[in-house]
Structure 1
Amino acid sequence: MSIIVQKFGGTSVANAEKIRAAAQRAVAAKQAGHQVVMVVSARGKKTDELVRLAAEMSENPAAREMDMLLSTGEQESVSLMAMAVHSLGEKAVSLTGGQIGITTDSTFSRARIESISTDRIRKHLDAGEIVIACGFQGIDPEMNITTLGRGGSDTTATALAAALQADECQIYTDVEGVFTTDPRVVSAARKVSLLAYDEMLELASLGAGVMHSRSIEFAKKFCVPLRVRPSFDEGEGTLIANTGEQRMVAGLALARNEARVTLADLPDQPGVTSCIFACMAKRKIPVDMVVQNVAVDGKATVSFTVQEGELADTLTAANEAIKILGAGTIRSGTNVAKLSVVGAGMRNHSGVAAQMFDILLKKGINLQMITTSEIKISVLVERDRCDEALLAVHEGFCMETAVPQTPEIGIQQKTKSPECDQSEDQLLSRIVSKLAKMEDIVVSEVQLDESQSRVTLHHIPDVPGTCAEIFTTVANKNIMVDMIVQNVSDTGHAEVSFTVQRTDLENCLKLVGELASKWDDATVSHEPEIGKLTVVGIGLRTHTGVGEKMFKALADANINIQMINTSEIRMSAVVAADQGKTGFKVLNKAFNLVEEA
C-alpha cells in the first residue's frame, strides 16, 4: 500500500478550524487507499509565546529546558490533531519525536539525528491508524527531549518520507504553490505544476521560501517527491520531483535592492580572488552575481553585487583587499536590480540566453552584468526598469500560459533512488548519514568539466542588443553555450566570454569573428582547452565562507582563475586545462568530500 507523508506548518494548524481541515485531508488520503503519516508543527505563534515566557523566567534559560519547553508546542498540536481525526471516524495515534523512533545527539536546540527507527510507525500504519508525528524534535541517549533547529519539521517530514520510501511528501502551506514569478508584481503569473529539484533549489535561494532548502536537497538525494499544497483549498499545488519535463524557463525572480562593486586593475595571478573573498567573509558580507572575465594586458577585473544596505561595509572590505594586493581600483554603483530566469530545459536548449537578451533589447534595456549556471541566467539591469524587465521576460517566454496539471497523489512514475535497493537497515543508515552531512556542510559536490573551450569578444559596443546578436547568431547554429560572463563596463565597450563544447569551437569562432568584424576595435580571443571547476550545494550566496574556502584552496595550489560565475547552488571557475585535475582534488579535500570524489 502506498504511503503519503503530510507536513502541516504552524499557520496550517493555527486554530481549531484549521486543525479540523488538516485532519480532513489526512482522512481523505487514507480513504483513497493510502497509509498516512502526518508531521505537525506547533500552532501559529505558539513557539514565540513559549520563548517569551522563558524570557520572563530567566535571562539565560538552560538549553535543555528550552528544548523541553519548545517541544510542548508540537505535542499540543499532534494531540489535538489526533482528536480531530477521531471525530471524523478514523483511527489515529499521536507520537513525540522519541516515540516515533528519532534518536539524536545531545546538542540542545540544534540536535543532529543519529538514528531513525520505522518499526513503530509501520506497526500503527499496518493497524489502519493515521500516524501523527511531532516535527522538529527527537530524543537523546539519556532520554532528554531535543529539538532539531531551523527547518526541523521539514527535516522530520522528508527524513521519514525517505525512510518509509513514501510515494509523496506533501508540504501544506499558506500559498497555492510555487508561481512563475511574484504575482504581486506580475498579475499574469501562474502557479507552476511541476518543478525539478534543482529548479526549486534555485528559486528557493532566490526568495521562493515555501520550504527549507536543506530539505529540498535531502529529498533530491533520496528521490522523495515533494508537493507544496495549499492548506486553504483543494488545489494540487506544485510537485517537486525528478522530471523528464524540460521547460526552458520554469520561473523568474527579481532582487531589487542590489549594489554593484568592481575591483579593476588587479594583478592576474593566483590568490587575488581568494583575498577578495576572505575580506568579504571576514565581515560576513554575502556576495552575489560574482563575475570575473578573462584578464587583459595582465590585469584582471572582478565584479559582484551585494545588498545595497551592505555597500558601505563592502567598500571598506574592498579597500582592505586592494591594500593587501598592492594594486587595484574600486568602482561601485547603485540603482541596479538582478533579474534571473530558472529552467532545467536550459541544459538542452541553445537559445534561452539569446531569447532573454532579445526580449530586453526590444525594451531598450541594457545588460550591465551577466552570469549563468546550467539552469539559470542572471542579468543586472537598471532598478528603475526592473519591473518592466520582469514583465517583458515573463511575457516573452509565454509564462502566463497555464501549464498542465500534475498527476494525483501516489504518482506511478516515481523514480526510486539507488539507495532504495538496499535493505531497510542500510537505507536508514544512509539517510542518517546524509542528514548529518546536510547539517554539516553547504557544498555537496565538486565537479570537473574538461570538455569545453573558452571564447571572448573584446571591445564590443556596450549598448542594448549586442549580447542578443551574439548569442542569437550562435544559437541559430545549434551551438550550446554554457558559462556566460559579462563584466561591468565604464568605457562604452564591453567584454563577453562564454564556454562551448570543444567540438563546436571552430564553427563558433567563425560566427563570432564575422560579428566582431562589424564593430570598430572588436577582437576575438579563445582558449581551445580549459578546465571548469564547480562546487555545488545550497545557499552558496548566504554562506560567506564558501567562496573564501574555494578560492583559497585554488590559490594555495597556485592555480590561477580565468573566469568566475555564480548562482545560488553553483559556483564555477575556469582554469587552465592542465590544472583542472589538481583543482578538482584540492576542492574535494577543502570541502571534506574526499571519500565521494
Structure 2
Amino acid sequence: MSLIVQKFGGTSVADVEKIRAAARKAIRAQKQGHRVVMVVSAMGKNTDLLLKLAGDVSQSPPAREMDMLLSTGEQVSVALVAMAIDDLGSKAVSLTGGQIGMKTDDSFSKARIQSISTERIERLLDDGNIVVAAGFQGIDDDLNITTLGRGGSDTTAVALASVLGASACEIYTDVDGVYTTDPRLLPEARRVDVISYDEMLELASLGAGVMHNRSIEFAKKFNVPIHVRSSFSDAEGTMIVAETESKTAPVCGAAMTPNEARVTVLGVPDVPGKSLQVFSAIAEKKIAVDMVVQNVGRKGRADISFTVRQDDLKLTLAALDKVLPAIGADAVTFDDQVSKVSVVGVNMADQTNVASTMFRALADANVNIQMITTSEIKISTLVPRAEAGAALRAVHEVFRLHEKPADAKSWDQIRAERGETADLDTLVSRLQDDALEALTLTGISLTKHQARVTLYGVPDEPGIAADMFETIGQAKIFVDMIVQGYDGEDGSTSVSFTVDESDLKQSLEVAVAIREKHGMRDIQDGSDIAKITVSGIGLRSHTHVATVLFKQLADLGINIEMIGTSELQVNAVISATNSDKALERLSAAFAASLEAGR
C-alpha cells in the first residue's frame, strides 16, 4: 500500500472549517487506498501571537525557551486535526516532533534534523490510523524541544516522505502552486506546471514563500517529488522534481527579497586569510550570508561587501566589531534600506545575453543597481528598497514570464519520458545511514585559463551596467562571473568580470571603449587565474562551507581575487599558480569535514 505525506500550512488550518477541510482531504486519500501522514503547522497567525507575547515578557528571551514556546502552536493544531478526523469517522493519532522520533542538533531556532525513527509511525499506520505529525519541531540529545526555523514544517514533511519512502509529498497551501513570482506582488505572475529542484532552491532562498529552502535541499538530496497544491481547490498545482518545465526559456522565475542589509568591510589588507577572518566570525553566529563581493585589491587594500537578512544585521555587526582590530580593516559600513531582485533559470548558463537583458530592463525602469553577483543559474542585483517593486516588474516583463514557453512540458509528459521509477528500497537504506541534513557535496572542480577585467570608478547610476554588458555581448565575448561592489572612492563602484583567457585582449579593448564613454577612472586586468568551485546541497545554510574554503586557501598562501556564491555553488577566483594544490587540499578538507559531521 502506497504512502502519502500531506503538509498543511498555517492558512490551511486557520479556523475550524479549514481544519475540517484538511481532515477530509486526508480521509479521502486514505479511502483511495493510501496510508496517510499529515504534517501540520500552527494555526494562522498563532506563531506571530506567540512571538509578540515573548517580546512583551522579555526584550531578549533565551533561545531554548523560545523554542519551548513556539512549539506549542503546532501541538494545538495536530490535536485539533486529529479530533476532526475522529469526528468524521476515521482513526487518527497526533504526535509531537519528539514523539515521531525526530532528533535534531541543539541549535535552537535553527535546528537541523539528524535522524528520524519511524517505528512508531509505521506501527500506527499499520493499525489504520492517519498520523498527524507536528511540523517545525524535534528534540535534541538532552530531550530539549528544538525548532527548525520559520517554514520548517515543509522540511518536516519532506524529511518524513524521505524516510518513509512516500510515493508523494503534497504541500497544501493558500496558493495553487509555484508562480513565476509572488502573485501578491504581480497579479500577472503565471503558475508553472513543473520546476526543477535547483530552480526552486534558488527561488526559495530568495524569498519565494511557497517552500522552505531546506525542504528543497532534502527533496533534491533524496529525489523526493513534491506536489504543491491549494488547500481550497483540486487544481493540479506544481511538481518540483529534477527536470525543468522548458529546455529553452532562459529564466523560469523572478524573486524580490525585500528586507536585506548590505555590509561592507572597508580597507581589508589584501593578503591571504583575511576573508577567512571576516566570514568565520559570521559563521560562528550561524548567520547565512548571501551576495558576496570582494573587489580586486589596490594599494594593498580591498573592500568586502555582502548581504544578510535585515533581522541578522545587528548580530552581524556585533560579530564583526569583535574581530575588526585583528583583521586590520579600516571600518564597517552598512545599508539596511536595500532589497535584492533576482532571476533564476537552469538554461541561462548556455545563453549569453541574459545578464545584459536584465540590466537593460532595470535601466529602462530607472532602477539603480548597487551590487551584482552571478552564478550559473542565478543573477542577483541589489537595489534601493523603494525601487524594488518596479525592478521586479521590469525583469518579470522583459523575460515574458507571464507567458508559457512554447516547449513547456507537463509532469505527465516528463514522467512518461523517464520510463522508470526510483528504487525506493535503496533510497530508504541510504537514508538510514545518512545524517539527514548533513552537507552533501556534488563536486569540487577547477576551471583554468581564466582572465579577469576590472573597471574602477563606474558611475553609480541607472543604465551603466546595461550598457557595459550589451557592449561586451555585441563583441561576442562570453562572460562567466560578474561582481559589482563599492569602489571605496568618490561613491562610485567597481565592476569585475571573468572571461576565457583567449578573450582577454578583446575584452580589454572593449573595456577601454566603455571607460572612455562613461568617464571611468581605471582598468585593471589579470591573467593566469583559475576558478575553484565547490558544488553541493546546503552550501549557504551550512555556514561553515566558506570558512573551510577560505582556510585552505589561506594555509597555502593563496589570495582570493573574486568570490561568487549561490545555493548550489561557492566560486573563488585565485591565481593559477597553486590552483592544483588548492584543489587537492580542498578535496581532502571537505572529505574530513563531512566525515566529522556525520
TM-score by shorter chain over 0.5: yes
CA shift for structure 1 position 313: 6.7
The farther-off stretch of 155-164 and 378-387 is 155-164
Equivalent residue, structure 1, for 2:202? 202
CA distances 1:334-353 after superposition (whole Å, capped 9, x unpaired):
65332222222222222211
- Amino-acid identity (%): 36
- Normalized against structure 2, the TM-score is what? 0.78
Higher deviation after alignment, 246-255 or 458-467: 458-467
TM-score by length of 1: 0.78
Post-superposition offset of 1:145: 9.5
The amino acid that maps onto 1:233 is S
Cα distance, 1:468 vs. partner?
Answer: 2.3
Q: Which moved more, 1:280-289 or 1:445-454?
A: 280-289
Q: Distance in 2 between matches of 1:96 and 1:319?
A: 44
User: Match of 1:76?
Assistant: 79
> Shift in Å at residue 358 of structure 1?
1.5
* Aligned: 1:396 with 2:392: no
SS at match of 2:386: helix
Which whole-Å CA distance do the structure 2 matches of 1:166 and 1:263 have between them? Answer: 47
For 1:254, the aligned partner's letter is M
Q: CA deviation at 1:292?
A: 0.9
**Distance verdict in 2 for CA 1:242–1:315, change over 3 Å:** closer
TM superposition shift of 1:395: 1.3
Gaps of 5+ in 2: none
Q: Which residue of 1 is the match for residue 253 of structure 2?
A: 251
Residue 278 of structure 2: SS of its match in structure 1?
A: helix
Distance 1:168 1:293, change over 3 A: same
CA contact under 8 A between 1:293 and 1:562: conserved in structure 2?
yes
Instruction: Give 1:178's aligned residue.
Output: 178
Shifted more, 60-69 versus 560-569: the winner is 60-69
Query: Which residue pairs with 2:34 in the alignment?
Result: 35
Report the counterpart of residue 485 of structure 1 in structure 2: 483
Is 2:189 the partner of 1:192? no
C-alpha change, 1:271 and 1:416, in structure 2 (3 Å) is farther
Alpha-carbon displacement from aligned partner over 1:173-206 (angstroms, at most 9, x marks no partner): 2233333223333332333332211222222222
CA distance in 2: counterparts of 1:64 and 1:526, whole angstroms:
50
Q: Which residue of 1 aligns with 2:570?
A: 571
Answer whether contact 1:236 1:408 (CA < 8 A) is retained. no
AA in 2 matched with 1:168: A
Distance 1:47 1:34, change over 3 A: same
Which residue in 1 is equivalent to 2:428? 428
Say if 1:181 and 1:594 are closer, same or farther in 2 by CA, change over 3 A. same
Separation in 1, partners of 2:540, 2:254: 19
What is the alpha-carbon distance in structure 2 between the residues aligned to residue 254 and residue 108 of structure 1? Answer: 28
Equivalent residues in 2 for 1:77-476, closer than 5 Å: 77=80, 79-83=82-86, 86=89, 94=93, 96=95, 112-117=114-119, 120=122, 124=126, 131-136=130-135, 149-150=147-148, 153-244=153-244, 245-246=246-247, 247-281=249-283, 287-306=289-308, 321-326=323-328, 328=330, 332-333=334-335, 335-401=337-403, 406-407=410-411, 412=416, 420-421=422-423, 424=425, 426-434=426-434, 436-438=435-437, 441=438, 444=441, 447-451=444-448, 453-459=450-456, 461-462=458-459, 463-475=461-473
State the match for 2:506 in structure 1.
510
Amino acid at match of 1:223: N
Q: Could you say if the C-alpha distance between residues 96 and 413 of structure 1 is closer, same or farther in structure 2, counting changes exceeding 3 Å?
A: farther
Structure 2 CA distance for aligned equivalents of residues 328 and 353 of structure 1: 33
Contact map agreement 2:78 2:134 (CA 8 A) in 1: no
Q: Distance in 2 between matches of 1:497 and 1:410?
A: 40
- Whether the 8 Å CA contact 1:67–1:108 is kept in 2: the answer is no
Residue 275 of structure 1, CA deviation:
2.1
Tell whether the 8 Å contact from 2:257 to 2:339 is kept in structure 1 after alignment: yes
Q: CA deviation at 1:574?
A: 1.6
Matches of 2:301 and 2:106 in 1, distance apart? 49
Change over 3 Å in CA distance of 1:97–1:431 after alignment to 2:
farther
Residues matched between the structures, number: 574
Q: In 1, are the aligned partners of 2:534 and 2:569 still within 8 Å (CA)? A: yes
CA displacement at 1:152 relative to structure 2: 6.3
CA shift for structure 1 position 293: 2.7
Helix, strand or coil for the counterpart of 1:448?
A: strand
1:241 Cα offset (Å): 1.0
Shift of 1:220: 0.8
The alpha carbon displacement at 1:216 in A equals: 1.5
The offset of 1:20, in angstroms, is: 3.4
Amino acid at match of 1:221: K
Q: Which amino acid aligns with 2:187?
A: S
Structure 1 stretches of 5 or more lacking a match? none
| SS class of match (2:18) | helix
Aligned equivalent of 1:519: 515
2:574 alignment partner, SS class: strand
Q: CA 1:510–1:187 in 2, change beyond 3 Å: closer, same or farther?
A: same
User: 1:555–1:433: structure 2 CA closer, same or farther, 3 Å change rule?
Assistant: same
| RMSD, aligned α-carbons | 4.8
Change (3 A) 1:208 1:68: closer
- Deviation, 1:447, is 2.5
Task: Report the more deviating stretch, 511-520 or 93-102.
Answer: 93-102
Cα distance in structure 1, aligned partners of 2:447 and 2:250: 25
Who is 1:22 aligned against? 22
